[in-house]
């Protein structure tokens, strides 16, 4: 009959034989007293590790000198009663190529001195290979990031900059030491033009937009590029194309941006377009045209569309009035309180959201700002125009506002003018004597409160109707005259620009 001790011994042997770790014991002379099958596999069949072998001799064949000394000194310390923390070893022989984690324990019996040590070996080869692959990948990533001429930045899900490479330093003039740890909106604010920095609301709005994009489920503008102008602190301005993307990690989502200097290309495109345009109109600018009917504004908008911009016309006027605009590149929206197809409510928040959704380089014309003024408080209109100014800059839009100046007080008009630029002809127009004669006549009539018609001009100056139309059209296009409709009659009056010509 099998004794209880025999059963316990067989049970222990079974456990040792099936352990997923290697276990061997040595006496105080480092002679192996037991070794389980997993340990034999770790050492390799060629070594023929077994009871009675000298571990010191085996270690010299299996490990580097440094790892051999680490193992033997660890065993010695364990048998001397010291606690040795787990450590790692690597089999140096190429046919093995395994990495193990070593745990040492003393072999003792109650009341007797230390008899030796137990060595537990866990195979960590796969983990070490994964760590080495990760380190190699990180090294390759660092090499690519640091050597890239493009700017590369990374932000955590709170918008804090955690990566800022040399390329980004050269683009912005801001060093990595300065940028790392800062929220991205602080850096965006530093790269704004001076007029934006002087606006007390700019910082909060830049921060708000950044936080709004960061909290999205898929990140900010995934797989979408945009262009922006950087105003560096050394006074230089450059155009940058940015590609935004998101990365999901164990620590949450990170947002990345790759930036490239496209100044030469953008300037070449701008110059080419300017050669085809009659007005000085640039991306990132909000323009205001003061006129009772949107003649100059529409002409300037048509100028933009002609050179390839995508356009949105937001109007209260019948669509037929704009039939000369290219149908393929211009979408028209009717400003109306009725919910109809291709209509927009005169709600300033809804219109702002619409503009925010426009792509970089889009042109927009609001031809009846006075209608929006009639539907909203002036204070809200002013905030709306300030928002349009910022959106024009941040998204690279061209926005033209047509406003009947009589719909506002002079003070209200001045506050709006501070947010906008005037639409100016690209080239100074040389007024011929005949054209100047028409302008001078209209100016004098306006001084006595009369807005002359085309017929009045022709009769008084003795010129034909076609000539009157041609000369008035030239003055309207160059911003010296404005037109008014009274029934079927067209009347003209001198603009502020025209008045300045006579006051010089």
Q: Domain for residue 427, yes or no?
A: no
pLDDT tier, 317 (very low <50, low <70, confident <90, very high otherwise): confident
Number of structural domains (the chain) is 4
Tell me: pLDDT of 374 over 50.
yes
Tell me: pLDDT of 409 over 70.
yes
Mean pLDDT of 485-493: 84
* Distance, C-alpha 232 to centroid of its chain: 17
- Per DSSP bridges, beta strands 252-261 and 151-155 are antiparallel
Tell me: pLDDT of 495 over 90.
no
Tell me: pLDDT of 18 over 70.
no
pLDDT tier, 210 (very low <50, low <70, confident <90, very high otherwise): confident
Q: What average pLDDT does the structure give for the chain? A: 82
Same domain for 331 and 292: yes
Same domain for 270 and 417: yes
Mean pLDDT of 245-264: 82
Provide the whole-model pTM. 0.46
Same domain for 251 and 160: yes
Q: Which domain holds residue 196?
A: 137-261
Last residue in a domain, options 83, 100, 128: 128
**Which is higher by pLDDT, 485 or 276?**
485
Tell me: pLDDT of 260 over 80.
yes
Q: Domain for residue 403, yes or no?
A: yes
pLDDT tier, 219 (very low <50, low <70, confident <90, very high otherwise): very low
Q: Domain for residue 359, yes or no?
A: yes
Same domain for 446 and 322: no
**Which is higher by pLDDT, 425 or 398?**
398
**Which is higher by pLDDT, 317 or 257?**
257
Name the residue with tokens 């450590």. Answer: 87
pLDDT the model gives residue 381: 93
Name the residue with tokens 């008014």. Answer: 484
Mean pLDDT of 254-268: 85
Mean pLDDT of 465-491: 86
Any idea what the CATH number is for the domain that residue 417 is in? 3.40.50.300
pLDDT the model gives residue 325: 63
* Distance, C-alpha 402 to centroid of its chain: 32
Same domain for 395 and 357: yes
Which tens digit of pLDDT belongs to each residue from 266-310? Answer: 887 777 666 667 788 888 899 999 888 778 888 889 888 887 788
Q: Using a pLDDT cut of 70, give the percent of the chain over it.
A: 85
pLDDT tier, 4 (very low <50, low <70, confident <90, very high otherwise): low
Helical (H) or strand (E) element with 311: strand 311-315
pLDDT the model gives residue 141: 67
Same domain for 141 and 246: yes
Task: Work out the angle at residue 200's Cα, subtended by the Cα atoms of residues 369 and 258, and round it to the nearest 5 degrees.
Answer: 90
Q: Domain for residue 428, yes or no?
A: no
What pairs with residue 366 in β-bridges? 314, 401
The Cα 155–Cα 157 span in angstroms is: 7
Any idea what the CATH number is for the domain that residue 142 is in? 3.30.450.20
- Closest listed residue to residue 83, CA positions, set 56, 55, 115, 117: 117
Same domain for 271 and 257: no
DSSP 405: G
Same domain for 113 and 97: yes
Tell me: pLDDT of 407 over 50.
yes
Least confident range of 16-20, 60-64, 126-130: 16-20
Q: What is the DSSP string of 328-366?
A: TTEEEEEE-SS--TTEE-S-HHHHHHHHHTSPTT-EEEE
Last residue in a domain, options 240, 261, 282: 261
Mean pLDDT of 58-69: 87
pLDDT the model gives residue 244: 83
pLDDT the model gives residue 1: 47
* Distance, C-alpha 78 to centroid of its chain: 57
Q: Domain for residue 451, yes or no?
A: yes
Q: Domain for residue 185, yes or no?
A: yes
Tell me: pLDDT of 400 over 90.
yes
pLDDT the model gives residue 280: 82
Positions of E strands within 184-269: 224-231, 237-249, 252-261
Contact between 165 and 152 under an 8 Å Cβ cutoff? The reply is yes
Least confident range of 92-101, 184-193, 263-272: 92-101
pLDDT tier, 131 (very low <50, low <70, confident <90, very high otherwise): confident
Mean pLDDT of 65-73: 91
Same domain for 174 and 219: yes
Q: Domain for residue 453, yes or no?
A: yes
Least confident range of 305-309, 344-348, 452-456: 305-309
Tell me: pLDDT of 132 over 80.
no
Same domain for 411 and 300: yes
Same domain for 497 and 439: yes
- Residue 89's SS3 state is strand
Q: What is the DSSP string of 134-200?
A: HHHHHHHHHHHHHH-SSEEEEE-TTSBEEEE-HHHHHHHS--HHHHTTSBHHHHHHHTS-HHHHTST
Mean pLDDT of 325-329: 60
Name the residue with tokens 């909290």. Answer: 215
**Which is higher by pLDDT, 131 or 492?**
492
- Closest listed residue to residue 55, CA positions, set 47, 317, 431: 47
pLDDT the model gives residue 94: 45
pLDDT the model gives residue 11: 52
Q: Domain for residue 392, yes or no?
A: yes
Tell me: pLDDT of 12 over 70.
no
DSSP 278: S
Last residue in a domain, options 402, 422, 442: 422
Tell me: pLDDT of 455 over 50.
yes
pLDDT the model gives residue 220: 47
pLDDT the model gives residue 7: 53
Mean pLDDT of 255-276: 80
Same domain for 418 and 289: yes
């Amino acid at each position: 009959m099998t004794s209880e001790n025999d059963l316990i011994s067989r049970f222990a042997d079974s456990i040792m034989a099936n352990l997923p770790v290697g276990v061997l014991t040595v006496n105080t002379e480092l002679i192996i007293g037991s070794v389980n099958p997993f340990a034999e596999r770790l050492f390799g069949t060629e070594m023929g590790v077994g009871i009675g072998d000298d571990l010191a001799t085996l270690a010299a064949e299996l490990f580097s000198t440094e790892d051999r000394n680490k193992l033997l000194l660890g065993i010695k310390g364990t048998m001397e009663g010291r606690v040795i923390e787990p450590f790692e070893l690597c089999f140096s022989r190429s046919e093995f190529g395994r990495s193990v984690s070593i745990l040492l324990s003393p072999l003792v019996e109650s009341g007797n001195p230390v008899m030796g040590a137990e060595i537990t070996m866990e195979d960590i080869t796969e983990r070490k290979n994964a760590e080495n692959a990760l380190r190699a990948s990180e090294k390759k990533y660092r090499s690519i990031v640091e050597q890239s001429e493009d700017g590369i930045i990374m932000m955590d899900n709170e918008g804090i900059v955690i990566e800022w490479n040399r390329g980004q330093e050269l683009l912005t003039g801001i060093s990595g030491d300065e940028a790392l740890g800062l929220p991205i909106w602080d850096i965006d604010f530093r790269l704004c033009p001076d007029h934006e920095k002087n606006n007390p609301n700019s910082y909060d709005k830049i921060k708000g937009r950044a936080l709004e994009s960061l909290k999205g489920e898929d990140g900010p503008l995934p797989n979408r590029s945009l262009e922006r102008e950087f105003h560096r602190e050394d006074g230089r301005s450059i155009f940058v194309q940015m590609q935004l993307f998101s990365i999901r990690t164990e620590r949450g989502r990170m947002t990345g941006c790759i930036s490239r200097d496209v100044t030469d290309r953008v300037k070449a495109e701008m110059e080419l377009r300017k050669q085809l345009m009659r007005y000085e109109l640039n991306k990132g600018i909000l323009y205001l045209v003061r006129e009772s009917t949107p003649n100059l504004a529409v002409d300037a908008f048509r100028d933009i569309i002609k050179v390839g911009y995508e356009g949105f016309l937001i109007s209260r006027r019948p669509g037929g009035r704009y039939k000369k605009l290219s149908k393929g590149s211009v979408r028209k929206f009717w400003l109306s309180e009725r919910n109809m197809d291709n209509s927009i409510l005169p709600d300033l928040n809804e219109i702002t959201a619409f503009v925010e959704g426009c792509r970089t380089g889009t042109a927009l014309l609001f031809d009846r700002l006075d209608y929006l003024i009639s539907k909203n408080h002036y204070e809200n209109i002013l905030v709306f125009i300030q928002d349009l100014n910022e959106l024009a800059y941040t998204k690279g839009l061209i926005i033209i506002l047509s406003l009947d100046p009589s719909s506002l007080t002079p003070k209200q008009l001045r506050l709006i003018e501070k947010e906008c630029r005037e639409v100016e002809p690209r080239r100074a127009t040389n007024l011929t004597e005949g054209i100047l004669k028409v302008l001078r006549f209209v100016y004098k009539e306006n001084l006595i409160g009369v807005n002359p018609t085309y017929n009045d001009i022709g009769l008084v100056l003795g010129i034909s109707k076609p000539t009157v139309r041609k000369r008035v059209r030239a003055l309207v296009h160059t911003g010296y005259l404005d037109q008014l409709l009274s029934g079927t009659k067209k009347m003209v009056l001198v603009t502020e620009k025209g008045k300045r010509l006579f006051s010089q």
